[in-house]
Structure 1
Amino acid sequence: MIRVLIVDDHAVVRSGLMMLLHGKHQIEIVGEAADGDEAIKKALELRPDVVLMDLSMPPGKDGMTATAELKQLLPETSVLILSMHDDDEYLFRSIQVGASGYVLKSAPHEELLVAIESVAGGNAYLYPNATKRLMSQYVDRLKNGENADTYDSLSEREKEVLAKVALGYANKEIAEQLIISVKTVETHKSNLMEKLGLKTRADLVKYALKKGLLHGD
Structure 2
Amino acid sequence: MSLRILLADDHAVFRSGLKAALNTQDDLCCVAEVADGQAAVNEVTRLTPDVAILDIRMPRLDGLRAAERILDRRGNTTKVIMLTTYDDDSYVYSALRLGVSGFLLKSVPPEETIAAIRIAARGDALIDPSVTRRFISRFAASIAPPASATGLDRLTAREREVLMLVAQAHSNTEIARDLGIGDETVKTHVSRILAKLGLRDRTQAVIYAASHHLVAPFPAPPTDTTDTTDRAKTGRLKGRGRRRTT
SS in 2 for 1:126: coil
Distance 1:147 1:88 in 2: 23
Q: Could you tell me which amino acid in structure 2 is paired with residue 45 of structure 1? A: R
Distance 2:146 2:34 in 1: 35
2:45 corresponds in structure 1 to 44
2:142 corresponds in structure 1 to 141
1:34 corresponds in structure 2 to 35
Q: Is 2:102 the partner of 1:94? A: no
Q: Is residue 6–residue 51 contact of structure 2 (8 Å, CA) maintained in 1?
A: yes
Q: Could you tell me which amino acid in structure 2 is paired with residue 115 of structure 1? A: A
Distance 1:41 1:103 in 2: 23
Q: Deviations over 1:70-108 (max 9, x none)?
A: 111153110001111101110010011121111110112
SS in 1 for 2:19: helix
Q: Is residue 8–residue 40 contact of structure 2 (8 Å, CA) maintained in 1?
A: yes
- Cα deviation, residue 10, structure 1: 1.3
Q: Is residue 141–residue 147 contact of structure 1 (8 Å, CA) maintained in 2?
A: no
Once the two structures are superposed, the pairs formed by residues 186-201 of structure 1 within 5 Å of their partners are none
Q: Which has the larger radius of gyration?
A: 2
Distance 2:82 2:72 in 1: 17
1:72 corresponds in structure 2 to 72
2:20 corresponds in structure 1 to 19
- Cα deviation, residue 128, structure 1: 5.2
2:4 corresponds in structure 1 to 3
Identify if the C-alpha distance between structure 1 residues 25 and 84 changes in structure 2 by more than 3 Å, giving closer, same or farther: farther
5+ long unaligned stretches in structure 2? 148-246
2:121 corresponds in structure 1 to 120
After TM superposition, the score normalised by the length of structure 1 is 0.63
SS in 2 for 1:23: coil
Identify if the C-alpha distance between structure 1 residues 22 and 146 changes in structure 2 by more than 3 Å, giving closer, same or farther: farther
- Cα deviation, residue 23, structure 1: 3.2
SS in 2 for 1:31: strand
Distance 2:129 2:138 in 1: 16
Distance 1:52 1:36 in 2: 11
5+ long unaligned stretches in structure 1? 149-217
Distance 1:102 1:127 in 2: 8
Distance 1:68 1:147 in 2: 25
Q: Note the aligned Cα RMSD (angstroms).
A: 1.8
Once the two structures are superposed, the pairs formed by residues 137-216 of structure 1 within 5 Å of their partners are 137-142=138-143, 145=144
Identify if the C-alpha distance between structure 1 residues 147 and 90 changes in structure 2 by more than 3 Å, giving closer, same or farther: farther
Distance 1:99 1:84 in 2: 17
Distance 1:25 1:81 in 2: 23
- Cα deviation, residue 25, structure 1: 5.4
SS in 2 for 1:28: strand
Percent of paired sites with the same residue: 37
- Cα deviation, residue 147, structure 1: 6.9
1:183 corresponds in structure 2 to none
